Amino acid sequence: MPTAILIDGEFFLRRYRNMFGNQPPDRVARELHKMCLGHLFQEGKRRPLYRIFFYDCPPLKKTVHHPLTDEPLDFSETPTALWRRSFLDEMRRLRKVALRLGYMNERGGGWSMHPQAMKDLIAGELAAEDLSEQDFRYEAERKGIEMRMGLDIASIAFKKQADQIILVAGESDFVPAAKLARREGIDFILDPMWASIRDDLHEHVDGLRTIVGRKDDQMQGGGTGGNHYNGGLPPLPHQPGEEEEEEENPYHSSER
């Protein structure tokens, strides 16, 4: 039976940015897809893929006024929003990828001060007149992500659409759905992308497996004899049936 791969989009993009810095949206989409395909190589074989589910929210479209300058800010035209929309468009073009989009709760959003700025202000190390626009951030809650993910996990388990689920996430919201899937005989694997997870999460999954290498693991011999960091993932092995002999899976992985 095939493998289903579920990805918490916000978590993946945050971890990817921390490890590889800011990259073009088309490159991130391709490397995400490559990472998912790398998960299929297990025990010297390539498992069939059921589908890649990507859970995310489109960026905010509302216009608000900055609390410090009172200047209007159109979130739909910010560089972050333009990047995110382009990235989601790239994801739509990839084979076997299904977007599961929630929404940002615009009505419940609001401004807050960055914790460090607040700490410095209380400690007297920062004066109110020295506050800048960067000391404030607008926060809006994601809605519908956990519900969609839980429904998909339940559907996959009850309909026997796959016998293995790989979840790319790092929080505990998935635990009830993971318990249900495991009771139905699903092999439930968590990929936290090298992020630390709570100790009690280990008992709710069947294993941990990280495919994407850390920066230190991405150093490979270059053609000039030196080392270089390619900023992403190693190439996929050749597929069965290709002219060249199939290689071993070159993905660095951490598996329990």
* pTM for this predicted structure: 0.79
163 φ/ψ sector (left φ>0, alpha ψ -120 to 50, else beta): alpha
In the predicted model, is pLDDT for residue 202 greater than 60? yes
- The boundaries of every CATH 3.40.50.1010 domain in the chain are 3-104+142-255
Answer with the residue of higher pLDDT: 190 or 139. 190
CATH of domain 3-104+142-255: 3.40.50.1010
- Assign 3-class secondary structure to 185-217: CCEEEEECCCCCCCHHHHHHCCEEEECCCCHHH
Least confident of 35-49, 77-91, 160-174, 209-223: 209-223
| CB-neighbour burial class of residue 46 (10 A; exposed 0-12, middle 13-18, buried 19+) | middle
Average pLDDT of the residues of the chain: 82
